[in-house]
Amino acid sequence: MKEKLIEEAIQIRSRAYVPYSHFPVGAALLTKSGKVYIGCNIENAAYPSTCCAERVAIFKAISDGEMEFAEMAVAADTKRPVPPCGTCRQVMSEFFSPDMTIHLTNLNKDVHTLTTDQLLPFSFQKEDMDE
Ligand code: THU
């Protein structure tokens, strides 16, 4: 499944809307029910309104009623496997288990696999708001 997710993440970069950065990113998210949700980055003339590929894939899945996730791949044309931004790491920590694996890759298919907790250790969680 890892190879399929990586391939899907690379392919969906072709749908990225990136007129400002010209930096297409792709993501593929496998649910525990066996579905794959793909996402690409979607930019905006008001730059902070941009949504990264990872969050597009995650929000597509959540809005489709999926809440249980198994594995993710993220791909971009980078020298090293692409590191997700801080906002995406926080969103991953909300919806992924701490030990879920995320495969970061590039077009050479160098792969760096990390868990959610490794990507964002000591992350803010809903339990932190409990009294
Ligand atoms: N970007 C992603 O989509 N995912 C990442 O992991 C890193 C950054 C996007 C946001 C923006 O459209 C472009 O890459 C440059 O930052």
Domain span including residue 65: 2-129
Which residues form the pocket of ligand 1, taking CB atoms under 6 Å from any ligand atom?
A: 18, 21, 23, 25, 41, 43, 50, 52-54, 74, 82, 84-85, 88
Residues 103 and 6: beta-carbon distance below 8 Å: yes
Model confidence pLDDT, tens digit, residues 28-45: 999 999 999 999 999 999
**Global pTM value:** 0.97
Task: Report which ligand 1 atom has the smallest distance to the Cα of 43.
Answer: 12
pLDDT of residue 131: 84
Helices in the chain by DSSP H: which ranges?
2-12, 53-63, 86-95, 116-119
Residues 72 and 104: beta-carbon distance below 8 Å: no
Distance between Cα 102 and ligand 1 center (Å)? 16
Domain count, the chain: 1
Look up the CATH number of the domain holding residue 51.
3.40.140.10
Instruction: Kindly list the distances between the CA atom of residue 1 and the CA atoms of 24, 28, 90, in Å, as whole numbers in the listed order.
Output: 23, 11, 24
